[in-house]
A and B are shown apart, each in its own frame.
Chain A
Amino acid sequence: MLAAVVPAALATTTAYWGYDNLTANNPPANSCFSGSHSGIACSGWNYWDYSEAAWNSGRSSWTLGFLCQADGLIHGRLFAGSETFKTYDVLWSDYCPGHYNRDAVAHINGGSESYNYLQARDVIYP
């Protein structure tokens, strides 16, 4: 559970994807787990507080969120391609019933381009 007092400086941030192009084929299949579809990158299991992306360019649709332990599905925020949010943070409790999950970022076919150039990060507070 997130502590009541969490100074921003104390967060630990770890990049698990990029900077690189997130596309329908990158990362390739089986990158997240054996049997996972292409275009999905994810971190390891932990009590991540935020799933974070630093977006640079591209206009395809994509999602940033969590591979929730509860149902094995990726729940995240939809980016349709027209917004240009720079750093975006997704809070675990807005998407998963439990705190122990994997951060995930995934390409969704769509938008006016076929890629997004971004970095995806784990964020955890002590």
Chain B
Amino acid sequence: MKRIRFIAAGLVALTAAVAATVIALAGGASGATLQPAPQISSGVPVASGSLGAAATAMLTRIGASGAIARIGSINGTSFYSVAGADGGHCYVFGSNPAQGLSGGCIPAGVAVPAVIDMSGVVMNPADGSWNLETLQGIAADGIAEVGFVDASGAMHTAPVVGNVYRLTGPFPGGASSLLVGFDGAGKQIFREGLGSP
């Protein structure tokens, strides 16, 4: 685990060092007070419309009308940031943009968490029990690893490579479940409860 953590941290540092383009996530013409998003150094600009008509329609629908950056891709799933029409920050992902994308926008003036988790769950509708199906999302600079603490207390971690992470489950969810983020030294710097109020 330490070796994996070390390699992931190295990749993140290298990515940050050589990134040719630092994507400005804020944008838009609104006069609303803008809230700076966490720094995300990875990203390649994507021409508007190049993701296809279905993706463009979805982005319009959620209010993501500004500059698009592809933060990264893992196992065929790509993660994007898009400037919101109101100056907020939009985050979407997809494995086939020709069909569309999944995501939404955080309005201007609202803080963006350091871990923009877009994990998937599977729930049994008969009893409400749930598993984490996929741990995935975008993490700000400085976060080297994102983890999910399952119902038994076991930690499942995904290295953050180029500001994105993805790990396939399933992992049982429950009262003790958490999302956590670690820096390159293994220090927990993000924590969010999932299981109990």
Contact = CB atoms under 8 A, between A and B. Distances in A.
Contacts, number: 167
Interface stretch (B3-11, B14-22, B113-121, B159-167): B113-121
B94 A94 contact: yes
Interface in B113-165: 113, 116-128, 130, 132-133
B170 to A, nearest CB: 11
Interface string B92-113: 0111101111111111001001
Interface residues of A, number: 58
A93 B99 contact: yes
Contacts of B60: 8
B105 A87 contact: yes
Contact of B96 (A7, A72, A93, A114): A93
A110 B192 CA distance: 10
A111 B192 CA distance: 8
B63 interface: yes
A contacts with B: majority SS: loop
A33 B120 contact: no
B122 A94 contact: no
19 contacts: A6-B53, A40-B123, A49-B100, A73-B122, A73-B123, A74-B122, A75-B133, A76-B120, A78-B119, A80-B117, A84-B110, A86-B88, A89-B101, A89-B102, A94-B120, A108-B121, A110-B193, A111-B194, A125-B57
A94 B95 contact: yes
Contacts of A73: 122-125
A108 B113 contact: no
Contacts of A11: 57, 61
Interface stretch (B23-31, B39-47, B171-179): B171-179
Nearest to B91: A85
Contact of B126 (A35, A39, A50, A95): A35
A33 B125 CA distance: 9
A14 to B, nearest CB: 14
B186 interface: no
A82 B101 contact: no
Interface in A74-121: 74-78, 80-91, 93-95, 104, 106, 108-114
A90 B118 CA distance: 11
A36 B177 contact: no
Given A49-B100, A67-B125, A8 B61 contact: yes
